[in-house]
Amino acid sequence: MTKQEHINYNRIAEAIDYIKSNFKAQPSLNEIAETVHLSNFHFQRLFTDWAGVSPKKFMQYISLAYAKQLLKEKQATLFDTALETGLSGTGRLHDLFVNIEGMTPGEFKNGGANLSINYSIAESPFGNLIVASTSIGICHMAFFSNKEQALSILTSRFPKATYNQVVDKIQKDALFIFQNDWSKLNQIKLHLNGTPFQLKVWETLLKIPTGNLTTYGAIAKEISRPKASRAVGTAIGNNPVAFLIPCHRVIQASGNTGGYMWGTTRKTAIIGWEAAKTNASNDHQN
């Protein structure tokens, strides 16, 4: 992602914040454009370049009504359809290429003393990222606004690991997920430290197709722990890999977006961006 695309996202995020706060009033294009100090023409073009749809259409994708409609229509068959292996569209293609491998006790012994971790700073459509990998796969990926703080969070997770600021192939493959042509993706492996329950929750999140939403309760039922919604929420909140493990696709049963480790505005932006990409893909196939 270019520096300009990163700047554009910051403007888009500001606009999304305004839309979220004033959605019931259905703000006009002019009102939204004024919040980011752009003319209607430039804001419309900027927004459409970033999201692939107009601000008005995007507003629909991030509305409460849209979320409720998705939950009502999709939740009953969400995980059944996720078992399909046919690569019928980009929404499924993305998720079929991500797999989780749990760290062994030996690999995580003494704070990761046996781990050699490469890390790098990258840009995405949703802001800066820090991404880290072992020889097996991605072990950490997080959005950030402060580089020093992001590095501190990473090193606190594996305090005795050896760190190298290196961009490796594992990271490049993972970051390609933000590109439009997912047909060229290599398989992405995640190398994670977590309890068996956490790993099970994170693996279940991978079954949620791009452009779809589900609830904490539905995840709990899927892992045969229907009364464990709160524990599921905690496991989701401890997700160490942003975007690749799509915890942003889990919302409250009411249709409200709910919390997100990397900010609710970013969560809303990702949900709307994925909805736009998925709908565009479906329209193209039809």
Q: Which residues are catalytic?
A: 247
Cβ pair 279, 90 in contact under 8 A: no
Question: What are the beta bridge partners of residue 190?
Answer: 100, 138
Instruction: Indicate left, alpha or beta for 243 from its phi (over 0: left) and psi (-120 to 50: alpha).
Output: left
Kindly report the backbone phi and psi dihedral angles of residue 169, in degrees, each rounded to the nearest multiple of 5, phi listed first: -65, -35
Report the distance separating Cα 63 and Cα 66, nearest Å: 5
DSSP conformation letters of 225-239: -TT-HHHHHHHHHT-
Helix (H) / strand (E) element for 189: namely: strand 188-192
Burial tier of 135 (Cβ tally within 10 Å: 0-12, 13-18, 19+): exposed
The per-residue DSSP string of 26-37 comes to ---HHHHHHHTT
